[in-house]
Amino acid sequence: MPDDSACKYKTFFGDRSAFYVATSQTATIVNLAIRLGRPLLVEGEAGCGKTRLAHAIAEELELAGSPISITVKSTTQAKDLLYRFDALRRLQDAQNPANTDARWVYPYVELEPLGDAIQKGKPCVVLIDEVDKADIDFPNDLLDVLDRFEFDIEDLPRSESDRCAAAKGFGRHVTAPADGVKPIVIITSNREKPLPEPFLRRCLYTRLDFPADAGILARIVRKNLDARLDDIGDALIAGAVARFCQIRERGRDLELQKLPATSELVDWVRVLHWQSRKAEEVSPDALSSADQAVLFKLHQDIERYRARTAEESAE
């Protein structure tokens, strides 16, 4: 493992958090992103742990109050991640002649999570979740910020910059303090919309795949359930994982729209445990409706899977 004492972040190993197992490749890329100070773009099918990777990093590196997560919506603008100017409150305050605050803009400017993290310069993880949900201009507007980790508050007049710096600790141009560190920025995407090339170029990229190894799957399930259930048997987990792999394989043959992934597996093992069923009793050919509800997310997927199993049993 690389050692760099100048870096204020510890090394991420991937398996030290209470609930997450990352492959060594993923861990290396995370470390690379941290050391190079680049944002990390994480892609992968739904339910394979993109968002939880950010939580795992925060937990392993012992960053308090992290990750600061921002869930992107279709209406989110890049500015919303950095700061907010409350014009309405200012207007309201302006009604009151006794309130002199409203003469200035700066009392109504607040930093939002990403802006705050940049300005404080303390070690933390910022999670920008589902960046592909935003409008196509959103990633382009973030380019400069993610490149240099500094930005301008455009709503704040230049004349108030010093006054704002004195009162709130940041001026019109927000940048990290001299001895500050860059936040670890994790961006997740489901590839619903293509991201622009310049944006991709500024990020490091990793894709989380569904683990092919049953052993790793079992470890993931165990880690996720240990916190909640302590009397869960290894036999149940191993059996469930084996059957789950068969179901997934069959689902891939059927080209299901949404294949069950790690999060569905964890839920399913929990359901089996609650119903105190044994893994041996479950056959991929005859799933109960509860199993189907946990494993599949689309009605047509359930129908297709059922049709196939009925066909096979008829043969």
Partner 1 sequence: MSDSARLPPPLLGLFRELLANGVPLGVRDYLDALRALQLGFGRLDLKQDGRQALRDLALALWARSDAEQRLIARWFDLVPAPGRALIDAIDEALARVSASGAGQSVGQRQGGTAPAGGKLAGPASPTAQPPPDAAPVEESCARVSFVGAHAGGGLPVPRLSVEPKIDEHYVLHPHTLVSLREMTVLWRRYRRSTRRGPRRELDLAATIRERCRRGRLLQPVCRARRANSARLLVLADTSASMDPWRPFLATLADSLRLGRLASAELRYFSNLPRSQLFADVDLTDPQARDEVLRRHAGAGLLVLSDAGSARGYLNRRRALQTAAFLAEAASLFPAIVWINPMPRTRWAGTTAALVAAGANVSMLPLDAAHLLRAVDILRGNK
Q: What distance in Å separates the CA atoms of residue 8 and residue 176, rounded to the nearest whole number?
A: 14
Report in angstroms how near the CB of residue 223 gets to partner 1 at its nearest: 24
Query: 41 has which bridge partners?
Result: 187, 205
Report in angstroms how near the CB of residue 162 gets to partner 1 at its nearest: 26
Report in angstroms how near the CB of residue 28 gets to partner 1 at its nearest: 6
Question: Where do contacts with partner 1 occur on this chain (CB under 8 A)?
Answer: 1-4, 25, 28-29, 31-32, 35-36, 38, 87-88, 91, 95, 136, 193-194, 196-197, 200-201, 204-206
Report in angstroms how near the CB of residue 107 gets to partner 1 at its nearest: 18
Residues in the chain: 315
Closer to partner 1 by CB, 38 or 243: give it: 38
The secondary structure element, H or E, covering residue 40 is strand 40-44
Q: b vs e for 237-251, b when ≥16 Cβ sit within 10 Å of the residue's Cβ?
A: bbbbbebbbebbebb
Name 133's Cβ contacts closer than 8 Å, sequence gap at least 6.
Answer: 72, 73, 74, 76, 192
Closer to partner 1 by CB, 3 or 231: give it: 3
Name 110's Cβ contacts closer than 8 Å, sequence gap at least 6.
Answer: 83, 84, 86
Report in angstroms how near the CB of residue 204 gets to partner 1 at its nearest: 6
Closer to partner 1 by CB, 38 or 248: give it: 38
Report in angstroms how near the CB of residue 245 gets to partner 1 at its nearest: 24
Do β-strands 173-175 and 150-152 pair in parallel, antiparallel, or remain unpaired? antiparallel
Closer to partner 1 by CB, 136 or 310: give it: 136
Cβ atoms 217, 244 nearer than 8 A: yes
Closer to partner 1 by CB, 148 or 228: give it: 148
Closer to partner 1 by CB, 150 or 280: give it: 150
Cβ atoms 143, 202 nearer than 8 A: yes
